[in-house]
Structure 1
């Protein structure tokens, strides 16, 4: 009976809360960057299939829609402007990209955690590289945190379920 209850609890998990997450930049695809892992917001985790329309010859009643290729949106990361004494490897990488046009793709793991801080799933973004970097407006009449927005393109992503 206990095994049945465990199976029911496993199948009827509570929805995952979106505020428990981590972002890990994997140097060489393996070693996580220990400094750049706290972000306030992650967006752009989506994909869709591009379709090709093929018209039926001689019959104009319908057309065929065939899958053509995958389309991935950019991964967008937001965090407070970093001013720590320890240099941010991510900021150094973005600087190299936008100052020297030097690209060093790496894998990025976005992980969702449960209440105890244990990973329960996530997404692995393969061969990610910087494509956009912006800082929020500086406004003398506002008392808000300066936000770095970093955008990454990647070749594909894999869903990870634990």
Structure 2
């Protein structure tokens, strides 16, 4: 006798998480959250990888040894509609115009349909490395998008 296959569900407790409900929190000075800059259209760069070095063993021609050396991270890329009067814009302006950096911790939180946290990614000592605004085009009625890219010291994935 075979057991029935349970139906697929989008219930956050037993089904797959959906990636369109999220918030981004910047912690100025490492502790105080910025309540204005939390809404973004897209977040990418949630990844880490282990760098390796290859060791060749003398007389062994069938394989090499690959040993871990360090953890590497992709830059955190945030995209949102063009915003005026944002503290985050001031930080990016200081970095790009004055070469002054104030690293902050950033947490990206995946939310359930009830807006409860399901998972999070903590980025420690994040600082701006790239800022771009989409092209201005009089023939295109598209939302103007800012792309902000941050480097950071370390990422910690949190499963809540």
Same fold (TM over 0.5): yes
- Give distance in 1, aligned partners of 2:128 and 2:56: 39
Question: More helix per residue: 1 or 2?
Answer: 1
Which residue does the alignment assign to 1:107? 105
Task: Spell out, residue by residue over 1:18-70, the C-alpha distance to the aligned partner (whole angstroms, 9 max, x if none).
Answer: 01000000112221101100000000100111110000113222210000111
CA RMSD in angstroms, aligned pairs only:
1.5
- For residue 145 of structure 1, the aligned residue among 136, 143, 160 is 143
Unaligned runs of 5+ in 1: 1-9
1:3-152 alignment runs, 5 A limit: 13-83=14-84, 87-152=85-150
Deviation at 1:11, TM superposition (A): 10
Gaps of 5+ in 2: 1-10
**How many angstroms does 1:12 deviate by?**
6.1
SS in 2 for 1:16: coil
Is the 2:12–2:112 Cα contact (8 Å) retained in structure 1? no
Question: Taking structure 1 as the reference length, what is the TM-score of the superposition?
Answer: 0.89
**Count of equivalent residues:** 150
Cα drift, residue 14 of structure 1: 1.2
Given that 2:54 and 2:66 are in contact with CA atoms closer than 8 Å, whether structure 1 keeps it comes out as yes
Q: Give the whole-Å Cα distance in 2 for the aligned partners of 1:62 and 1:138.
A: 54
From 145, 153, 156, the equivalent of 1:155 is: 153
Q: Distance in 2 between matches of 1:96 and 1:57?
A: 53
Equivalent residue number for residue 6 of structure 1: none
